[in-house]
Amino acid sequence: MAKDGGFLSRLGLGLKKDSSSSAAKGKFAPENVLPLDEKFVSQFTEGGGNFVYCADKTDGVTALKHYCAEHGWRGVFISAPGIADWEKDIAIETTFQNDGQFPVVLSTCEALIAFNGGIMVHGHHTGGRKLADLPKHHILVAYTSQIVANLRDGMTAINQKYRDNRPGNIAVIRPPHDQAVELASADPNKDRTVFLILIEDEA
């Protein structure tokens, strides 16, 4: 079953526990290090990203349909071939052309960056388009195994996976209230609604 926040309930309990225990340990005690999944979720949601944790693809499809219904979107532009099969499951209109008929794009991504809550994408996920050329509302599908510590690990994943076909238009989607996004005079992430469907990898 899909869970709004998913890790967030666990994260909240963890933060409360850490804050009370840190006072008892004193200022010279080593800092507790959050697991990568909790760190990513914390950074992503604090920046204004929308997040739902799903046990499987079926839950992910349900979350997508609810999100589109909530915002009154009658259809989506699917930009990534890897999730083309979602078309038959989501029971709303779809297109594989960025023709502007729908205000929302559904894509996959390469990595979830725990360090800053960013989501790394490239041309294989966006149909070869730059981030600025996509609809402002972006729904991304990812799996828990895609969470990495930092941007360097994300780039390493790309270099290892695409040795002979390195993608272009590599970008990092940041939540709309991320400080760097808000301070930038021009940024393709400005005014972008970001919704992440995070699916547990199969055992």
pLDDT number for residue 30:
54
Give the count of domains, the chain: 1
- DSSP secondary structure string for all residues of 129-165: --GGGS-SEEEEEEEGGGEESSHHHHHHHHHHHTSSS
Q: What is the pLDDT of residues 69-118, one digit of tens each?
A: 999 999 999 999 999 999 999 889 999 998 889 999 999 999 999 999 99
pLDDT number for residue 34:
81
Inside any domain, residue 56 = yes
Inside any domain, residue 178 = yes
Average pLDDT over residues 145-163: 93
Inside any domain, residue 27 = no
pLDDT number for residue 6:
41
Inside any domain, residue 183 = yes
pLDDT number for residue 58:
94
Inside any domain, residue 30 = no
pLDDT number for residue 199:
96
Inside any domain, residue 29 = no
Domain that holds residue 121: 3-17+36-199
Inside any domain, residue 22 = no
Give pTM, 2 decimals. Answer: 0.81
Inside any domain, residue 31 = no
Q: What b-and-e string marks burial along 60-71, b requiring 16 or more CB atoms within 10 Å of the CB?
A: bbbbbeebbeee
What's the CATH code of the domain at 101?
Answer: 3.40.50.10420
pLDDT number for residue 28:
56
